[in-house]
Amino acid sequence: MNLTVAVKIIGGFAIISILLIVISTISLSNLDTISESTQQQNTLAIPTLKASNKLALELSKMSNLALKGYYQGDLGLLAGTLREYKNIEDLFTERLSALKQIVASEQDLLTNLTQVDQLYSSFNNANLGLFNSHKISIEQKQLLTDKIDILEVKADDTVMLLLDLADHELADSKLQRAISLSEQLENQFNSIVSSAFEYRDIIDESTAQLIESELSRSLDEAK
């Protein structure tokens, strides 16, 4: 799963970067072919080259921030990374729009830039979706952790009640059957809590399904 996410982010970054390199290459070529026209160099070739390089740099930063956010486990840190990402997103959009105006009269450059715009839109939406999905994942994990902590406390309280029952003066007579059942119940509670702790830290889906089955079985036996 982690590898798949990384490949998608890096793959999108690589494709857009290649197109930006193509634009830079065309700009360099233009510098050679229009060397006699200083004005055209200043208004087209050089600005296009500089803008393409800046876009490539910002794209690299966005890719790195998306990967950084994916591996963060704290909501506060994730929110900070997302803010930083959106700042660069705004800057990228602004500079991309400015570059379109610069190359408006150059069909080849404009065609490549249109492709960059389309690919960037998909790349950016995927990254924002990743941030949102990971935020939900962290929230759900925290909620699960809180519920497991509550379960552990409740299980401990129940075990204490069962121990009090075992110390009752009728433990060896009228309550003997109840105490025997309570010991089984204690083992089942311990099994449920143990499985819940394992479930909290599981990432693999097949392992999670196995633990879910164990939890369901333990709960059925405890009824």
For 42-106, the DSSP string reads IIIIHHHHHHHHHHHHHHHHHHHHHHHHHT---HHHHHHHHHHHHHHHHHHHHHHHHHHHHTTT-
pLDDT of the residue at 167: 60
**Cα–Cα dist 40/30, whole Å:** 9
pLDDT at 133 over 80: yes
**Sign of the torsion formed by the C-alpha atoms of 107, 46, 25 and 54:** negative
**Interior CA angle at 65 toward 60 and 71, to 5°?**
135
Three-state secondary structure call for residue 130:
helix
* Tens digit of each residue's pLDDT (9 = 90 or more) over 33-68: 545 555 555 667 788 888 888 888 898 899 899 999
Instruction: Note the pTM of the prediction, 2 decimals.
Output: 0.69
Q: What is the mean pLDDT of residues 83-107?
A: 91
pLDDT of the residue at 34: 46
Q: What is the mean pLDDT of residues 132-145?
A: 88
Structure confidence at residue 186 as a pLDDT band (50, 70, 90)? low
Q: What is the mean pLDDT of residues 78-92?
A: 96
Taking Cα atoms as reference points, which of 102, 118, 120 lies closest to residue 48? Answer: 102
pLDDT at 184 over 80: no
Q: What is the mean pLDDT of residues 65-74?
A: 92
